[in-house]
Structure 1
Amino acid sequence: MIKAVLVMNTQGKPRLAKFYEFQPVEQQQEAIRNVFSVLCTRPEHVSNFVDAESFFGPMHTILDEIILGGQVLETSSTEVMRAIEEIARLDAASNAINLVPKSVSGWRSR
């Protein structure tokens, strides 16, 4: 079972922190500090750091498609990307609907 997922910047500031078991805020902060201190002391060739700026916006959605309640739901990157694209398509469609002025949508009620 996955206990937590942490995404941090190079200064140790959490960009995304999801805990799948209840932890008081103090314990969450302690865990974040401990993880960062361990990562900082590891040699470069044993750690994998990724520049996440390109996909930080949908990161929550991607994570929610892969993990639910600490259990891995989907391991296929193709299926995850298909779900993300569908969510983005539905979001764009709902944004387009919201662009219709209210005066136009109520023209029949006159």
Structure 2
Amino acid sequence: MIKSIVVLNNHGQPRLTKFYEYVPEDRQQQVVTDVFSMVSKRSDALCNFVDGASIFGPGVRVIYRHYATLFFVFVVDEAESELGILDLIQVFVETLDRCFENVCELDLIFYMNKIHYVLDEIVVGGLVLETNMADILAALQEAKRSESQASSTSLVSPARSFSLARSYR
């Protein structure tokens, strides 16, 4: 099971944090700091799996990928496949890349709702829901279509509202 997902920049500032188990706020901040110090010190030549027992307790692994200025970190229990999680990180990043056409750190800051929506299409409650990028993008397109239909039907054009107001006088 996935315990948490953290996206950090090269300076250790969290850009996305999602915990699938209850963790108090002060502990969450400590986890983010500890995770950053763990992954930022590692050379790119080393593997992307780290034993997380010192931070999270026994049977926990920290799996991460470093893309440009961002670290994508998944904290998982021993039941998860490390290579499967690396693939899941790749799917997540590629999906974001397609949504934002070359995703960057600013996209994570300014479009937080969309980022969470993409993540919720992939992982729900700490369990992997979808790994097919085409299905994830189709769900995003459907949500966008539904949103645009809802907003277009709920808005009345100014000309129409003016003519309605005149007819009641």
TM more than 0.5: yes
Distance 1:12 1:89 in 2: 36
Alignment coverage as a number of residue pairs: 110
Distance 1:50 1:85 in 2: 27
Residue equivalent to 1:84: 140
62, 65, 78: which one pairs with 2:118?
Answer: 62
State the percentage of identical aligned residues: 35
| 1:37-62 deviation digits (Å, cap 9, x = unpaired) | 11210113444225642753221110
Are 1:97 and 2:127 counterparts? no
Of Structure 1 and Structure 2, the greater strand share is in 2
Distance 2:68 2:26 in 1: 27
SS in structure 2 opposite 1:4?
strand
> 5+ unaligned residues in a row in structure 1: which ranges?
none
Are 1:13 and 2:13 counterparts? yes
TM-score, with structure 1 as normaliser: 0.81
Residue identity in the other structure for 1:39: V
Distance 1:11 1:93 in 2: 41
Are 1:49 and 2:49 counterparts? no
Structure 1 stretches (4+) deviating beyond 4 angstroms?
none
Distance 1:101 1:16 in 2: 38
TM-score, with structure 2 as normaliser: 0.55
Q: Measure how far apart 1:17 and its partner are.
A: 0.6
Distance 2:37 2:149 in 1: 44
Q: Could you say what the CA RMSD is over the residues aligned between the two structures, in angstroms? A: 2.6
> 5+ unaligned residues in a row in structure 2: which ranges?
47-64, 70-102
